[in-house]
Amino acid sequence: MKSQSFVLSSQITALLEAQGITVATPVQEEIIPAIANGQDVLTQSETGSGKTLSFAIPIIEQLQRRDGLKALVLVPTRELAQQVAGEFIKYSAGKHLGIVPVYGGVSINTQVAKVRQANIIVATPGRLIDLLNRNAVKLNTIKYFVCDEADRMLDMGFIRDVERIATRLPEQHQTLLFSATISREIEKLAAKYLHNPKNVRLASTVKPIFLHQTYYHVSPEGKLDLLADLLGRERSLAIVFCNRKHITVKVSKKLTTMGIQARALNGNMSQPQREKVTDDFRTGKFTVLVATDVAARGLHIDDVSHVYNYEIPKDVESYTHRVGRTARAGQKGEAVSLVATEEEKKFFQQILFKYRGEITLKESGELSTRPTRLAPARQEEKPRKSDIAPWKKSWRRRSG
């Protein structure tokens, strides 16, 4: 990874180059030197900007296996814990660091045994507090404390847990706080726990030139048929967002009977089930993921060409997070919202106000040719290459 602002060890440079990462992203240019110099960091940066490597690289560079537990990364979801831990493991190859993801839904006894040997813990707040209450882990040796996706921590009600964890940290440590948006609440949190931080605010990478945003007015009865018609057109992977868990199941089953390969992802599923669905979607074993916001949080999946809001989110930030799943890192994408009820119209008015001029109304009559309904696909059948990846990959691979 080349940059004028920092120099990396030959070992980690080789690992990065092996993954096709040769040029630092803007957030990495700003953050890596600051962390290496011992500064606290407050960063506004969205998914896809390379933020995970911006904190993982300097932490990996400065740790050795014999150092004991030195880094704690808090994340809002199990999926993100797995993915962030995976990045640490990938780019610390050869150093044999103890990197342990900690989250609920799996055996706590296994995690108790593993954290004793950890150099880096990547955890969701609730499960980490469980371990602290059992005295299975102590945080008095922590040197690096990362709070990732702080805005979602706030949305999901985890901020009190985060503060409880922060009180267990030693007085001398670095705090690195990352958030897609910096609200007043996040600024208060930063003022309380960060000391003279490096403040980095990066503009959104989701640009109108790459992201095409549209919406339809549709009756509640006609919403599913319209969604199926839209999904039947040329696309790569697509995520359909719903607000409620049971709706993800209903919609995925209905789409499957219409011949569209779809699976649900929600918080009622067990951790192994969620991991299997996520992996199958990432590898193209099915092409439509029907998910809630919380279940999809932290997913890092390339080639998502379309995002559909089957149910309209109740706030602008959730909409922003949803549409950020496509049109990432310079690739094209589409975000389509289906507005049916009066309540949805009310919520969508806020979104239209925020994205003035960027979201256009389309009429269902503009679907000039209705796609032919496909026969229901067999579960084991893989999509053809022609069904996947209509968008050209960006020349620069990004992490985070």
The mean predicted confidence, pLDDT, of the chain is: 85
Query: How much is the pLDDT for 398?
Result: 37
Q: What is the pLDDT of residue 365?
A: 64
Position 368 pLDDT exceeds 60: no
Q: Which amino acid, 284? A: G
Q: Tens digits of per-residue pLDDT, 233-254?
A: 878 899 999 999 999 999 999 9
What per-residue confidence (pLDDT) applies to 330? 65
Position 378 pLDDT exceeds 80? no
**Which residues sit opposite 330 in a β-bridge?**
none
Domains of the chain with bracketed CATH:
10-201 (3.40.50.300), 211-387 (3.40.50.300)
For the segment 40-54, what is each residue's pLDDT rounded down to a tens digit?
Answer: 999 987 665 678 899
pTM (predicted TM-score): 0.62
pLDDT of residue 326: 87
What's the pLDDT score for residue 204?
Answer: 57
Higher per-residue confidence, 56 vs 385: 56
Q: Once rounded to an integer, what is the mean pLDDT over residues 218-247?
A: 94
pLDDT tier at 69 (50, 70, 90 boundaries)?
Answer: very high
Q: What is the pLDDT of residues 4-32, one digit of tens each?
A: 567 888 999 898 888 777 778 888 888 99
Strand partners, 200: 43
